[in-house]
Structure 1
Amino acid sequence: MPMRPLAKPFSKPFAAAFVLALATVLALPAAQAQDRIKLKAIGQPLATGLIQKNKEQPFFENFAARTGLPIDVDYKPIDTLGIKDTEQLRVMKAGLFDIVSLRVSQNSRDEPTILGLDLVGAAPDYATGRKVAKAYFDTVDARLQQQFNVKLLGVWPFGPQILFCKKPIASLADIKGMKVRVYDQNLAKFIEMVGGTPVPVSFADTHQSLSLGVVDCAITGPSSANSAGWPEVTTHQLAIGFQMALNGYGMTMKSWNALKPDQQAKLKAAFDGLTEEVWKYSEELFRDALNCNAGKDPCTTGKKFKLVDVPVTPADLELVRGAVGKVSLPVWAEVCDKSNPGCSKGWQATVAPVLGLK
């Protein structure tokens, strides 16, 4: 039987090309994995409740699907990180995180300009809150970029911040002489004007402070209060909105600039979608939680309690609305203009016309 001739060996150039092609194919999964962007995000505290749980966290956990970008986010609520919610901007400036769910009031000591989003009396309802957020967005974005290298991607509300008390009240005037939990200087000055004693207490510590009598009353949104069990240690709720508790999403300019223009557009569109969802959801929660706290129906999002619903009087409404000109704007302007000359003029030019203020 004749022997078959041996196959010719590959030429050296062909062999080299084959090995290179094979290596390329084998490396594809690794290369694709390396192409994915990994970002670290600070979220709202777990204790704040349903917006964090049902809107924010799912968005970040499904970030690639929601944005259409090869980005994976390591999302951590701030109360699991050992970082204070007053330190968010400092942490972002240091480059320790890429994205932040920014607590506006809590970080206003580091950057007073941002509190212009949420002056006491300026946004007592959702419709006004939207107008204020839109009017002041570019001002806040520019300031955060300048001072902290953080780009503002969206603004959204927890909703009207109302009063909870463990002593009987019939109107705002009844908090005279009472200790009231507050979360920023603007609100503190208003409580002083009404005759109360403002006491700064973190959200996480408020339930215990009410229970122990450290404070007699406390201010937050009705849904957050329900989630944190405040109605267990209070008896009355007065549903008048002092502030809208506007918050924002920010991203370090380093991470933002690392994206291509089309990726930036997709990312911004995704955050626009998220913030619009939260605006609508927040309003649903607000109305439902008021019912839950007072033991009324419908109550679908929280636990039923038995708080007394204190009627909001025209005099109380006028007191809160008048706070902008009398207290919150002058107090804030003095502080803000010191660190950011022209700060209050910027607000007067953008937000004041929306509110019908001269």
Structure 2
Amino acid sequence: MRIKTILAGATALLAAAGAAQALTVNVVGNLGITTQSKTLEAPFWNEKLPEISGGEITANFKPWNEMGLKGPEIYRLLGQGVMNVATGQLGHSAGDVPINDATDLAGLNPTIEEFKAVTEAFRPTLSKYYAEEMGLEILSLHSYQAQILYCRDEFSGLADLKGRKVRSSGASQADFIEYFGGQAVAMAFGEVQQGLQQGVIDCAITGTLGGYSAKWHEGAGYLYTLPINWGSGATMANKAWWDGLPEAQQTLMRTEISKLEAEMWALNAKENEIGIACNTAGPCPEGEPAGMVRVDPTPEDVELRRKAMLEAVLPGFKARCGEACTGMWNAEIGPVVGLTID
């Protein structure tokens, strides 16, 4: 009897030890309508990570828009420990955290390749800032598609922004819009389609495929394909929670999330033209072409984009972010883009 009791006790202890090693991660995911979320992020947390970890790591995963969140509050809630890991767009909270705009200032990166180079250059600085100032651990930095204009009425170029109400998703986008005489409007992503349909706003900015998936074409007839910026995204963990994990679990998650990050960059580079095609005349692998009028930028507008960046966006960023932040930008990003903020 005594031997059976000892064996039962040992079995219970082993079971408890095994349970202690298991980890369930509470994850707030990216905007759920995006292919990035549906084809990469959700399968990663729901299937791939549990499989790779042999069931040791599982996740409670849900996109932020399906939780009734609007986007800008995600990282604040993460810092409070409401969830363990969250993915969002840095520009959404650039009003509260100006350094978020550093890599993705409107007009700074004409191509996704340039945006990626800037992101890599600033990663150590941004990671240090978030760890020390926000209590968050950056696990990935990634892209969305080109952020472009969807407009209700005829639109031929940047000069047509004058007098129009334009939904923006960040402070630098607002500086860009206002440089051309437009009025920047803060509006949650989920409210934009109705806002366009009802004429509450005249134009709105989002990714090429994201806007198609959200059916913005039901309220907008013109698609202006000039990339304004790229929508810097980040997956972060609550640092106190992260620091409390066993090293082996940290290493496994960081390794696998870095692979997910690479997949996100590749997907968005590929989907950029797909999104434009889906919104206009097709072909569209995601559904029926939306039939919007495609408006491509003139060389003059490409130059105007840079002029707005130099004369309005960079000074606006400096005013919000301060001297120390501007110094970090000049040291890390300046050499990549060949610019210095005075």
**Structure-1-length-normalised TM-score:** 0.90
Name which of 197, 208, 216 aligns with 2:183: 197
What 5-or-longer segments of structure 2 have no aligned partner? none
Amino acid paired to 2:329: W
**Cα pair 2:226 2:296 within 8 Å, conserved:** no
Give the match for residue 300 of structure 1.
285
Per-residue Cα deviation, 1:179-238 (whole angstroms, up to 9, x for no partner): 111112211111111121211111100000000001111111110111010112111111
Which secondary structure does the structure 1 equivalent of 2:226 belong to? coil
Alignment size in residue pairs: 339
| Residue 232 of structure 2 corresponds to residue 246 of structure 1 | yes
CA distance in 1: counterparts of 2:111 and 2:287, whole angstroms: 21
| Residue 333 of structure 2 corresponds to residue 351 of structure 1 | yes
| Larger Rg computed on CA atoms | 1
Give the match for residue 342 of structure 1.
324
State the shift of 1:17 in Å. Answer: 3.8
CA distance in 2: counterparts of 1:307 and 1:167, whole angstroms: 11
State the shift of 1:31 in Å. Answer: 4.2
State the shift of 1:71 in Å. Answer: 1.6
Per-residue Cα deviation, 1:301-328 (whole angstroms, up to 9, x for no partner): 3431111111211111111123332111
**Cα pair 2:143 2:233 within 8 Å, conserved:** yes
What 5-or-longer segments of structure 1 have no aligned partner? 1-14
Give the match for residue 26 of structure 2.
40
Give the match for residue 218 of structure 1.
204
State the shift of 1:334 in Å. Answer: 1.1
State the shift of 1:28 in Å. Answer: 4.3
Give the match for residue 153 of structure 1.
139
Per-residue Cα deviation, 1:41-79 (whole angstroms, up to 9, x for no partner): 1112224x2111111111111222256672221112112
**Cα pair 1:226 1:303 within 8 Å, conserved:** no
- Higher mean alpha-carbon deviation, 326-335 vs 61-70, is at 61-70
CA distance in 2: counterparts of 1:177 and 1:285, whole angstroms: 32
**Cα pair 2:105 2:313 within 8 Å, conserved:** yes
Distance 1:128-1:204 versus aligned 2 partners, 3 A rule:
same
Give the match for residue 53 of structure 1.
38
**Cα pair 2:144 2:233 within 8 Å, conserved:** yes
Q: RMSD of the alignment, in Å? A: 1.8
Name which of 97, 101, 114 aligns with 1:128: 114
Which secondary structure does the structure 2 equivalent of 1:117 belong to? coil
How do 1:155-304 residues align onto structure 2 when only pairs under 5 Å count? 155-297=141-283, 299-304=284-289
How do 1:74-153 residues align onto structure 2 when only pairs under 5 Å count? 74-153=60-139
Amino acid paired to 1:327: A
**Cα pair 1:153 1:248 within 8 Å, conserved:** yes
CA distance in 1: counterparts of 2:93 and 2:2, whole angstroms: 60
Give the match for residue 308 of structure 2.
323
State the shift of 1:117 in Å. Answer: 2.0
CA distance in 2: counterparts of 1:116 and 1:230, whole angstroms: 28
Which secondary structure does the structure 2 equivalent of 1:245 belong to? coil
Identity %: 27
State the shift of 1:136 in Å. Answer: 0.9
State the shift of 1:30 in Å. Answer: 5.3
State the shift of 1:270 in Å. Answer: 0.8
Amino acid paired to 1:329: L
**Structure-2-length-normalised TM-score:** 0.94
Amino acid paired to 2:152: K
State the shift of 1:26 in Å. Answer: 5.7
- Higher mean alpha-carbon deviation, 260-269 vs 308-317, is at 260-269
CA distance in 1: counterparts of 2:287 and 2:142, whole angstroms: 21
| Residue 295 of structure 2 corresponds to residue 313 of structure 1 | no
Distance 1:151-1:26 versus aligned 2 partners, 3 A rule:
closer
Amino acid paired to 2:303: E
CA distance in 2: counterparts of 1:303 and 1:137, whole angstroms: 39
- Higher mean alpha-carbon deviation, 148-157 vs 258-267, is at 258-267
